[in-house]
Amino acid sequence: MAGVREQRQQQHHAMDNSSDDDDEQEGEWEEWGNGGGDDEDEENTKTLCLFCEETLASPETVFKHCVEQHAFDFSKLRAASHLSLYDCLCLINFIRSRVSMDVCWNCGSKYDTRKALLEHLNAVKHTDLPEVTNGVPSWSDEKFLTPFLENDPLLYSCEGDDDEQSEEFDVVDKDKAVRELLEFSSMNKQSIANVVEMAAKDDTSVQGLGLGDSNLADLTKVFLALGDGFWDESTSPTGASVLSNKGISSSSAKIISGTVGDVPALESDVEGENSFGIKEAVVMKKDNKDKKLRVSFAKVAEREMRNANRDYFGSYSAFGIHREMLSDRVRTDAYRDSILKNPALFKDAVVMDVGCGTGILSLFAAQAGALKVIAVDGSSKIASVAQQIAKANGYLKEAGEGKGESRASGVMTVVTGMIEDLDSTMPAPVQGVDVLISEWMGYCLLFESMLPSVLHARDRWLKPGGAILPDTAHMYVAGFGKGGTSLPFWEDVYGFDMQFVGQEVVHDATQMPIIDVVDCKDVVTNSCLVQSFDLVTMKTEDVDFTSEFHLELPSEKERSGFGENNIMTPESANIVCCYGLVVWFDTGFTDRFCREQPVLLSTSPHNPKTHWSQTLLTFREPIALTDSLMDFPKKADIEKIGSKSLPALALNGRLSIARSSRHRSIDISVEISAILKDGLKRTWPVQMFDI
C-alpha cells in the first residue's frame, strides 16, 4: 500500500507541474484512476475487514464478510438509518477506531482480546446505530471524517451510492415545499393566486377555505386540503412522473426528473411561463440523470417513529430505571413466582423474553430449567449488559473450543434489536418458542406501546398452544378525592396559606395526566372494570378502545376510612367530592398456563405500591357525590348538579384510550356526566389527555 501512496503523490505532483499540457495531465489522471493496470488495481482494492485481521479482495467482499462472519450488515444499516455519505465515512472510521482498542463499536463494552470482542459481536448482533449521548451521536463527530486507515478502500466505496441513497429517502413536508417555492423571485403573489385558483377549480375540498390575499398561508391551506394525493405519482407513457388528477390535472403541469431544492420543478405545455407562473428558468435536471422524484409524507412518520424508538430504547440504556424496576418487589416477585413456582411449564422449554432489560426474567427461566432462553432487547447497551450478567452467572450460551464442535456452557442467548426487525436473524425457528414472557406494561398499562411488539412475537415465534406470560390484563377506574391532589399540602405550608398555588397545580393537572401513588383512603367511589385483554387471542387493534363506566359512593362503612379531606361539608358526612379518575391495571399469570401456581400482579391503590403508581385524570371541577336518596327540587338547575348544594347520586362516563400519532404515546379522552336520582344529569365537555 505504501507503493500505491507514493505513486499517487507522484501523480499529483506531476499534475501540478504540467498544467499547460492538458492531454498529458488527462492521461495521468486516467492512469491514476485506473490504478495503472490489473495488478495495481487489485492492490488498490484489497481491503482490511472492519473487525478482524483478514484482508479481502474488495470493499464489496469485506461488507459481505462482515455480514456472514461478524453479524454486521453495513448496507442494511445505512438504508435503515438514512445515512449520508459523510455519515458513512464517520461511521466506518469510528468503527475502525473502536475495534482497534477492542471496544464494541455499538455498546462501548471493553474486551481483553479481539477474539472476545468478535464473540460479543456475533452473540449480540448489533443492528442499530450506537445510542445517542447528550443529544449528539458520538460516531458522527467531525474528527471521524479523518481516515483511520490511510487510503481505506471502504471509504471510497461509499461514494457511489450517495446520490441514489439521498434521493430515495428524501422527504418533503408541505410547509417546507411551499416555503421553498416562495423563495424563487419568479413566483410572485399572482403566481400563488394562480395555484390557488387552479386547485379550487379541480378540487372541492379547496373551495370554502376562506382564502384571503395570496400568501404562504393560503397556499399552505390548499396543500393541506388537497392531501397527500396531490403528490401522488403515476407513470406516463414516456416514463415521466406526473401529478395525479387530484387538484392539478396532468395537462396543466407535470413533474419532470429534476428538482429545485426539495421542490418539484414544474414543466409547462407552453414555452415562457408554465401553468403556475414559474419561469422555465427554474426547470432543471440534476446531474443530467433521469431520476424519479420521490415525495412521501409517510416517511415523515417513519422518521418520527424511528426517533421515538431511539429515545425509548435510549432511556432504557440508563441503569437508574432498571434499578427502579428490579427494586419493585411486587413486580419482580410476581414474575419470579410465576416462573419458579411453575417448573413443569419451563422444564426443557424454549423461552423468549421480549424486552429483557438486564435479563432478570431470562435468568429466572434458566433457573427454572429452560432448555433455551432467547433474551431480546432493543437497546444495544443494555443487551450487552444482559449478556455480561448472564455470563457472570453461568447462564450464557457460549461456543466451545473444540474443532467442529459446539459445546454449550449455558442456555441464554442475547439478541439486540426490535422484535419486528429480527425475523431473519432470530436464533429460533418460526413458531419454535414454547413460552413467551415479557414485562411490557407501561404507565396506564399502555404507555410505551410495547404490547404490539409482544403480539408480533406471539404470532411469529410462539408455538400453537404455547404459553404467554402474563396472559391477561385488566384496566380499572375509580373516583379519587381531595387527598389525591396536592391541595392539602398547599393549604398549610409551615403555617402559611398557599392555596392559590395548589389551585394552579390542580388546573394544570386537568390538561396532563399525573403519575402518582394514590392512598386507598383517597379513593372515594367503587371501582369499575373498563377493559380486559386476553393476550392469547387479542389483535393489535384491540389496544385502542372505548369503554363506559358507572361510579357511585360505596357504603358508609367502606367510606369511613376515606379521611376528612374528602368531606365537602362538615355537617354532611355523606357528601363527598370526586376530583377525578384514578386508573390502574392488573396482569394475570392465570391457571391457563400457570397450573401449579397462578399469580396476580396488581397496581391497585388498595394493594402495595409499584413503580407504575397510578394514573390520575383530574376533572376541570370537583363533582359532589352522595349516597342519599333525598328528594331534590323537581325543577333543579342542571348547572348546579354535582355541586355541594345538589350532589349527584352517580357518575356515568366513557373512557377512550388510543395509540397516539406520536409513536409510543397514548391519547386519553374522558366524558363524564353527573346523575341525579330521577335521571336528570349534567354533562361536562370532553377532556383530552396524553402520555
Half-sphere exposure of 84 (CA within 13 A, CB side): 5
Place of cell 474528527: 143
Q: Rounded to an integer, what is the distance from CA 542 to the centroid of its chain?
A: 19
pLDDT band at 295 (very low <50, low <70, confident <90, very high): very low
- Helices of type H across 380-469: 380-392, 451-461
Range from 161-165, 364-368, 377-381 that averages highest in pLDDT: 364-368
Pairing of strands 472-480, 528-534: antiparallel
User: What pLDDT is attached to residue 130?
Assistant: 83
pLDDT confidence tier of residue 182, bands split at 50, 70 and 90: very low
Bridge partners (DSSP) of residue 614 are 516
pLDDT in tens, 43-65: 567 899 999 999 999 999 999 99
The pLDDT score that the predictor gives to residue 201 is 52
Q: Is the pLDDT reported for residue 218 higher than 90?
A: no
User: Of 165, 168, 167, 160, nearest to 58 (Cα)?
Assistant: 160
Residue appearing with cell numbers 495495481: 40
Q: What is the mean pLDDT of the chain?
A: 75
Q: Which three cell numbers stand for residue 544?
A: 385502542
pLDDT of residue 255: 32
Helices (H) and strands (E) in the chain, counts: 22, 23
Lowest mean per-residue pLDDT among 175-184, 338-347, 511-520: 175-184
pLDDT at 188: 46
- The CA-based diameter of the chain, rounded to the nearest angstrom, is 110
Distance between terminal CA atoms of the chain? 57
Q: Which residues of 478-494 are buried (b: 16+ CB within 10 A; e: fewer)?
A: bbbbbbbbbbbebeeee
Split at pLDDT 50, 70, 90, the class of 260 is very low
The arithmetic mean of pLDDT across residues 212-241, rounded, is 41
Tens digit of each residue's pLDDT (9 = 90 or more) over 451-463: 999 999 999 999 9
Contact between residue 328 and residue 610 where contact means Cβ atoms under 8 Å apart: yes
The Cα 151–Cα 5 span in angstroms is 8
Task: Mean pLDDT check: name the lowest of 274-288, 352-366, 531-545.
Answer: 274-288
Provide mean pLDDT across the span 373-399: 90
Using the predicted structure, report yes or no on whether residue 7 has a pLDDT greater than 50. Answer: no
With H, G, I as helix, E, B as strand and everything else as coil, classify residue 352: strand
Catalytic residues: 439, 448
- pLDDT at residue number 196: 52
pLDDT in tens, 620-648: 999 999 987 666 666 668 888 989 889 99
pLDDT at residue 143 in the model: 81
User: Which of 437, 460, 459 has its CA nearest to residue 593?
Assistant: 437
Residue 19 has pLDDT above 50, yes or no: no
- Contact present, 650 and 581 (Cβ < 8 Å): no
What is the rounded CA–CA span in Å between residue 559 and residue 382?
46
Query: Has residue 279 got a pLDDT over 50?
Result: no
pLDDT value of position 108: 84
Q: Rounded mean pLDDT of 578-582?
A: 96
Of residues 144 and 235, more confidently modeled:
144
pLDDT exceeds cutoff 80 at 314: no
Q: 427: pLDDT confidence band, cut at 50, 70 and 90?
A: confident
- Percentage of the chain exceeding pLDDT 90: 40
Q: Mean per-residue pLDDT for 242-248? A: 36
pTM greater than 0.85: no
Alpha-helical (H) ranges within 552-614 are: 556-559
Contacts of 444 (CB under 8 A, 6+ apart): 475, 513, 583, 585, 615, 657, 666, 668, 691
370, 343 Cβ separation under 8 angstroms: no
What pLDDT score does 660 carry? 82
- CA separation for the pair 340, 351 (Å, rounded): 14
Q: What pLDDT is attached to residue 425?
A: 84
Q: How confident is the model at residue 164 (pLDDT cuts 50, 70, 90)?
A: very low
* Beta strand segments in 508-544, E: 514-516, 528-534
- How high is the pLDDT of residue 81? 84
Task: Report the DSSP beta bridge partners of residue 420.
Answer: none
pLDDT at residue 448, rounded to an integer: 76
Cα angle: 240, vertex 244, 249; to 5 degrees: 95
pLDDT of residue 83: 85
pLDDT value of position 272: 43
Between 569 and 614, the more confident residue is 614
Separation of alpha carbons 126 and 509, rounded Å: 41
Choose between 27 and 246: higher pLDDT.
27
List the single range of 6-15, 192-201, 655-664 with lowest mean pLDDT: 6-15
Ranking 113-127, 327-341, 581-595 by mean pLDDT, the lowest is 113-127
Residue 470, preceding bond cis, omega within 30 degrees? yes
Task: Calculate the CA 649 to chain-centre distance.
Answer: 43
Residue 632 confidence (pLDDT) = 61
**Number of residues that this document lists for the chain:** 691
What pLDDT is attached to residue 496? 94
> What is the mean predicted confidence (pLDDT) over 21-34?
44
Residue of 95, 84, 143 whose CA lies nearest to 117: 95
Residues near 13 by beta carbon (within 8 Å), at least 6 away in sequence: none
User: 270: how many CB neighbours lie within 10 A of its CB?
Assistant: 8
Mean pLDDT throughout 217-221? 46
Average pLDDT (337-341) is 97
pLDDT band of residue 223 (cuts 50, 70, 90) is: very low
Q: Which of 201-210, 267-276, 595-604 has the lowest mean pLDDT?
A: 267-276
Over residues 104-150, the pLDDT tens digits come to: 988 888 888 999 899 888 888 888 888 765 555 678 877 888 888 88
pLDDT of residue 144: 84
Predicted confidence at residue 310, as pLDDT, reads 53
Conformational region of residue 122, where left means phi above 0, alpha means psi within -120 to 50, and beta covers everything else: alpha
